[in-house]
Amino acid sequence: MSPLSPDTLTSRPADTDLPGADTPGTPPAEPVLALHDVRITDRVTDREIVHGVAFELLPGRAVGIVGESGSGKTLTCRAALGILPPHFEVSGGRIDLAGSDIATLTPRRWTELRGTTISAVFQDPASYLNPAVKVGAQIAEVIRVKQGVRRRAARRSAVELLEAVRLRDPELVYGQYPHELSGGMLQRVLIAAAVAVEPRALIADEATTALDVTVQAEILDLLADLRTRTGLALVVVSHDLAVVAQLCDEVLVLRQGEVVEQGPTRAVLHDPRHDYTRLLIAEHDSYGLDTFLAPQEAS
């Protein structure tokens, strides 16, 4: 049985009762992912592209990375996933995944961790699916390989997941090819595939950028639900502060590889310290930021 039951996937405020939230008397949870002053260099040009990114991602929490195109958001994520493009390297700092320094992982251990501990959804979902294989079968195969279950059980879990990501008529979708689905449906399929093996952390890199505002809102709600329902930790990457405002407890503002501002999302949005953050707030264009910019209730 999948932990994601569609009838219990309901929205809740993002900052209450989360698995990572400290409870008096219990030891603080270990971060799923921790970046310590991570620097990334292009070996060909010997140019440092990312100049020191640090954050800790606790279970059930969400960290956002915002910044304009080329600021180093994707490279930072790819470093955390161990999939930097060939001529880039982590040239400083350290990345810990579930308590292990990823620089010490063997390729075999990486394969085990990728998917079960950390998974990712990128923009352009179609390019991550095999066009010649029905989408349900692709998810079922992930489940079969990672969980070692029989085909029939894997199929059942895949249909449950398609339902959990709120695709209507999941049995029908299971049998469809990628080209038969819309962008929003494909992104849900990718999220279903990414969470199929119950990762502890999910990186969503511009996962909703190509979608229209309504579908984007639905996908963001879905990610928020997964987080509250299953304790999934999220890294949310976007050029749009509104997307991050919708989901994240903490935000990092990157400009040209430099973190110019970092802090609790509400504090950064209400009282931005850096001109660049103010610019991003002024430029936001899609969904959800206005509620954060409304006057805060007196506590």
What pairing do the DSSP bridges indicate for beta strands 258-264 and 250-255?
A: antiparallel
Which of 70, 153, 172, 275 touches ligand ATP by CB under 6 A? Answer: 70
Q: Is residue 255 close enough to count as binding ligand ATP by CB under 6 A?
A: no
Q: Which is nearer to ligand ATP, 66 or 142 (CB)?
A: 66
Q: Is residue 71 close enough to count as binding ligand ATP by CB under 6 A?
A: yes
* C-alpha distances out from residue 205 to 27, 120, 197, 235, 277, Å: 31, 7, 19, 8, 19
Which of 34, 57, 75, 289 touches ligand ATP by CB under 6 A? Answer: 75
Which of 9, 14, 35, 49 touches ligand ATP by CB under 6 A? Answer: 49
What pairing do the DSSP bridges indicate for beta strands 258-264 and 100-101?
A: unpaired
273 near 253, Cβ under 8 Å?
no
Q: Of 4-12, 72-80, 266-274, 290-298, which segment contacts ligand ATP by CB under 6 A? A: 72-80
Q: Which is nearer to ligand ATP, 16 or 45 (CB)?
A: 45
CA atoms within 13 A on the CB side of 255: 10
Please report, as a single letter, which amino acid is at residue 272. P
* Block residue for tokens 């640090």: 54
Q: Is residue 299 close enough to count as binding ligand ATP by CB under 6 A?
A: no
3-class DSSP state of 147: helix
The site for ligand ATP, by CB under 6 A, has a size of 11
Q: Is residue 85 close enough to count as binding ligand ATP by CB under 6 A?
A: yes
Report residue 63: phi and psi, to 5°.
Answer: -115, 135
Q: Is residue 239 close enough to count as binding ligand ATP by CB under 6 A?
A: yes
By the criterion CB under 6 A, which residues form the site for ligand ATP? 49, 67, 69-75, 85, 239
